[in-house]
Amino acid sequence: MLSAKSLFQEILDDDDSFALFCSIAAGGESQGGWENARIAALVPESQRGLAPKITRHGADEDKHGRIFEALMRKRGVRPVPVPPETDYTVLLERSGIGLAHDRLRRDEPLTVQDIVVYLAHSRVTEQRASEQMELLRKHFADHPELGRAVTMISRDEDDHLAYCHEELLRLAHAGHGRVIQRTLRACALTEIRVHRDVSLAVMARMGDILGWSRARGALLAAGIHAVYVYERLGGWRRMVSLRMPERRNALGGPASSASEFA
């Protein structure tokens, strides 16, 4: 029976597919760490209170990248190059989502509008990350190799999502509500398309590594397209709603250590 758990289990059991999975994840997390570090350094004076939280966000992302690298070391496999068509963060940037890297490399303070764009982009992508890590935690929290890692990362992603809700609501109350909703909608509609394309590319690569039949590949591709249709017809709305989280100030402290995975 083809299920999310059996699919992930097959990927995790093979060294080559495991290396690709972890390399893609590590690359995306490390990129997120760099982006947040630059944003924290360029926060406008009126939003300086956000800088420690953005720094913490970036530190968490860096930590996640190190965790995935540690998982590969423990398995005894080497990181592999990330195929361009599977690079979620790069493809989002090329689609105009978030703050362009050229902008972040300049030592010019960001604007409040830039902070809105950053938080809206993060709110959408952290929704995806939170859901994906919750799925992994549901099926692999007790896994001897992955359990602690997926539990820690899932908890962090939930905190990141809570932080985005809280800060966007703060800015909405300050008069930026319409811009926030417009930006969230544009981010969500682009993200679901990029996620579909990346998912198709990742599954194609995994299929080549694991020797999946054409029929199985077609079935998985059909499932990915079905998810996209659902999201395009209305599922994207879960990515743009805002509500005050139960846990306030979720990024108000230092990042937890990843030393146990080293």
CA angle 240, 243, 244 (to 5 degrees): 140
Looking at residues 236-246, what average pLDDT do you find?
96
* Burial (Cβ within 10 Å: 0-12, 13-18, ≥19) of residue 185: middle
Residue 76: left (phi > 0), alpha (psi -120 to 50), or beta? left
The answer to the question of residue 215 being in a domain is yes
Does the pLDDT at position 255 exceed 90?
Answer: no
The answer to the question of residue 259 being in a domain is no
* CA–CA dist 102, 125 (Å, integer): 20
Please report which helix (H) or strand (E) contains residue 13, including its range.
helix 4-13
Output the pLDDT for position 145. 86
The answer to the question of residue 18 being in a domain is yes
The answer to the question of residue 121 being in a domain is yes
The answer to the question of residue 257 being in a domain is no
Output the pLDDT for position 252. 86
3-state SS class at 171: helix
Does the pLDDT at position 164 exceed 60?
Answer: yes
The answer to the question of residue 260 being in a domain is no
Domain that holds residue 99: 4-240
- Global pTM reads 0.94
Q: Which residues of 141-179 are buried (b: 16+ CB within 10 A; e: fewer)?
A: eebeebeebbbbbbebbbbbbbbbbbbbbebbeeebeeb
More confident residue, 5 or 170: 170
Percentage of residues in the chain having pLDDT higher than 90: 93
Residue type at 249 in one-letter notation: N
Mean pLDDT across the chain, nearest whole number? 94
- In the numeric block, which tokens belong to residue 221? 């591709």
Looking at residues 175-192, what average pLDDT do you find?
97
More confident residue, 57 or 260: 57
The answer to the question of residue 24 being in a domain is yes
Query: Structural domain tally of the chain?
Result: 1
Does the pLDDT at position 1 exceed 60?
Answer: no
Query: Where residue 151 sits, what CATH number does that domain have?
Result: 1.20.1260.10
CB 205 within 8 A of CB 83: yes
Looking at residues 19-41, what average pLDDT do you find?
96
The answer to the question of residue 255 being in a domain is no
Residue-wise pLDDT for 115-147, tens only, equals 999 999 999 999 999 999 999 999 999 998 899
Question: What's the pLDDT band for 187 if we cut at 50, 70, 90?
Answer: very high
* CA–CA dist 147, 137 (Å, integer): 7
